Chains A and B, each alone.
Chain A
């Protein structure tokens, strides 16, 4: 077996040093009733690399790759072009096959990019401090609510109807099992909900998304003021990080915690994961943050270096009093994010955002001229909602049969809300082409 260096002669020699006659002796603590004599039944034996590749090619062939179809799907995961340099960098073995940087003398590479990553996140969000990543945006949002509960010592979260339904669902799950209340707003298709009226003295936080799940862009400055007047925190979720190249950052709106899905920068769609959660807050709440933090210091020779710090918040030290149980995070996806963002820089990131907005604007204008399609948004970044003349789910399937990946029927994410049956969510990034838009418009005209 190509991955196993020990030869039978090695094994015999090692057993003799140990003083055991067989490997079975080393497993003698396993109760006899649980010892498997032979291999586990019903599973095939090892395969060469060629056979493995063929098996995965066969899986791939049963899918429709976005690279061969007009593609307009978003809803929390976005198709962007990732420069070749990014993938090359994250495949360097020194990054790929290194552990969490608990030994800083031999992990300065990881630590320095985490420090750069944290800094980039604070700049994009307009916040003061950021951690070294969460699993993804969705789990980060639930952690943000728990953090707000700790900071305010209150246990009631108010959740916008514009929050991504999966994010909302995770918050509901943690609320139920970890013991707090979560009041969920109705689906905010038009971007008009008033959350201020729902805030009271028990409210720990209000969770909003910008742009919203349905695509609307809103200013949460007044909401932030209302939260602060009531002693609550404002949590702003961003699922499309590229939007921050063009939009006023949540920090300038008065957000207390900002959680973003960072997938768009550096990380492919990957059928939903792994992605990278960005988590930023105000300095005064630093010690209530979940997750790892990288900080600057000096070594014994006085040279600048970086370490994981403020670890007493974390599970491996604080155990049952930790701010979160998170351990492994999204280190390599954070590297992909930071390399891609470094390639883009100020000018590139802003231009990327401009292109996205322009493509989506073009798409919205073109769809508005299709009979049976009505654009629901007055504002958006690179994603918006349209109301169709008939239920969206079968329309999407009919277009898929024509190899057009046209968007997400809102009913897939909100199956219990009949009012959203006709809604379709579409995104256009820099990867959208005029030909693809032509095909979408023509396809919609046929199936509507």
Chain B
């Protein structure tokens, strides 16, 4: 399935009933060098819009809001040693957590790539 975006600059890519969540290229540029990521533990129940992770640069901390409800199946443990993956590869190695979706309809209000590109353009 293709990637969808929230207006808080999170992305979610769904395979089967599991969504992988991270932050967008635009968001990582705004943050600057990421120095620490607080990822959620597997098993945690999360609700759409809830702050479930924190991405920190030297001078800023950004809450990451889950774009969908469900149960966390995995947090990206590799970010502990390599938080810079979020800068280098935000849509790939820089993923933050995986969530087993409670309700696929959560994704309905999200933007597709084209809409998100427009949204980012409107911000500058």
Complex: chain B residue closest to A322, CB-CB? B61
Q: How far is the CA of A321 from the CA of B38 in the complex (A)?
A: 14
Does B59 reach chain A (CB closer than 8 Å)? yes
Does A186 reach chain B (CB closer than 8 Å)? no
Q: How far is the CA of A318 from the CA of B36 in the complex (A)?
A: 14
Does A311 reach chain B (CB closer than 8 Å)? yes
| Most chain B C-beta atoms within 10 Å of own C-beta, residue among A287, A312, A317 | A312
Q: How far is the CA of A318 from the CA of B61 in the complex (A)?
A: 7
Q: Are A317 and B36 in contact (CB under 8 A)?
A: no
| Most chain A C-beta atoms within 10 Å of own C-beta, residue among B38, B56, B59, B60 | B56
B62 CB to nearest A CB, Å? 10
Q: Are A311 and B36 in contact (CB under 8 A)?
A: no
CB within 8 Å: A-B pair count = 17
Partner pick for B60 among A287, A310, A312, A321, CB 8 A cutoff: A312
Does B105 reach chain A (CB closer than 8 Å)? no
- 0/1 per residue, A237-264, Cβ < 8 Å to B? 0000000000000000000000000000
Tell me which residues from 287 to 329 in chain A have a Cβ below 8 Å from any Cβ of chain B: 287, 310-312, 317-318, 321
- Interface residues of chain B: helix, strand, loop or mixed (majority): strand
Complex: chain B residue closest to A310, CB-CB? B36
Tell me which residues from 261 to 301 in chain A have a Cβ below 8 Å from any Cβ of chain B: 287
Q: How far is the CA of A312 from the CA of B83 in the complex (A)?
A: 15
- 0/1 per residue, B51-62, Cβ < 8 Å to A? 000001111110
Q: How far is the CA of A400 from the CA of B61 in the complex (A)?
A: 56
A328 CB to nearest B CB, Å? 20
* CB neighbours of B36 from chain A (8 A): 287, 310, 312
B83 CB to nearest A CB, Å? 12
B38 CB to nearest A CB, Å? 8
* CB neighbours of A311 from chain B (8 A): 58-59
* CB neighbours of A312 from chain B (8 A): 36, 56-61
* CB neighbours of B58 from chain A (8 A): 311-312
B14 CB to nearest A CB, Å? 30
Q: How far is the CA of A157 from the CA of B60 in the complex (A)?
A: 32
B123 CB to nearest A CB, Å? 22
Q: How far is the CA of A249 from the CA of B57 in the complex (A)?
A: 35
B54 CB to nearest A CB, Å? 8
Q: How far is the CA of A137 from the CA of B59 in the complex (A)?
A: 29
A431 CB to nearest B CB, Å? 46
A68 CB to nearest B CB, Å? 53
Tell me which residues from 81 to 130 in chain A have a Cβ below 8 Å from any Cβ of chain B: none
Q: How far is the CA of A312 from the CA of B56 in the complex (A)?
A: 7
Complex: chain A residue closest to B61, CB-CB? A312
Complex: chain A residue closest to B59, CB-CB? A317
Complex: chain A residue closest to B55, CB-CB? A312
B45 CB to nearest A CB, Å? 14
* CB neighbours of B57 from chain A (8 A): 312
Q: How far is the CA of A317 from the CA of B62 in the complex (A)?
A: 11
A286 CB to nearest B CB, Å? 10
* CB neighbours of A317 from chain B (8 A): 59-61
B27 CB to nearest A CB, Å? 16
Q: How far is the CA of A310 from the CA of B54 in the complex (A)?
A: 13
A13 CB to nearest B CB, Å? 40
* CB neighbours of A310 from chain B (8 A): 36
Complex: chain A residue closest to B63, CB-CB? A321
Q: How far is the CA of A312 from the CA of B36 in the complex (A)?
A: 10
- 0/1 per residue, A214-232, Cβ < 8 Å to B? 0000000000000000000
- 0/1 per residue, A183-203, Cβ < 8 Å to B? 000000000000000000000
* CB neighbours of B60 from chain A (8 A): 312, 317
A204 CB to nearest B CB, Å? 19
- 0/1 per residue, B24-50, Cβ < 8 Å to A? 000000000000101000000000000
A398 CB to nearest B CB, Å? 59
Q: How far is the CA of A317 from the CA of B56 in the complex (A)?
A: 11
Q: How far is the CA of A312 from the CA of B38 in the complex (A)?
A: 12
A312 CB to nearest B CB, Å? 4
B65 CB to nearest A CB, Å? 14
* CB neighbours of B56 from chain A (8 A): 312
A288 CB to nearest B CB, Å? 11
* CB neighbours of A318 from chain B (8 A): 61
* CB neighbours of B38 from chain A (8 A): 287
B79 CB to nearest A CB, Å? 14
Could you list which residues of chain A lie within 8 angstroms of chain B, going by C-beta atoms? 287, 310-312, 317-318, 321
In order of increasing CB-CB distance, the 10 nearest A-B pairs are A312-B61, A312-B56, A318-B61, A317-B59, A317-B61, A317-B60, A312-B60, A311-B59, A311-B58, A287-B36
Could you list which residues of chain B lie within 8 angstroms of chain A, going by C-beta atoms? 36, 38, 56-61
17 contacts between A and B (CB under 8 A): A287-B36, A287-B38, A310-B36, A311-B58, A311-B59, A312-B36, A312-B56, A312-B57, A312-B58, A312-B59, A312-B60, A312-B61, A317-B59, A317-B60, A317-B61, A318-B61, A321-B61
Known: A310-B36, A312-B58. 4 other contacts (CB 8 A): A287-B38, A311-B58, A312-B36, A312-B60
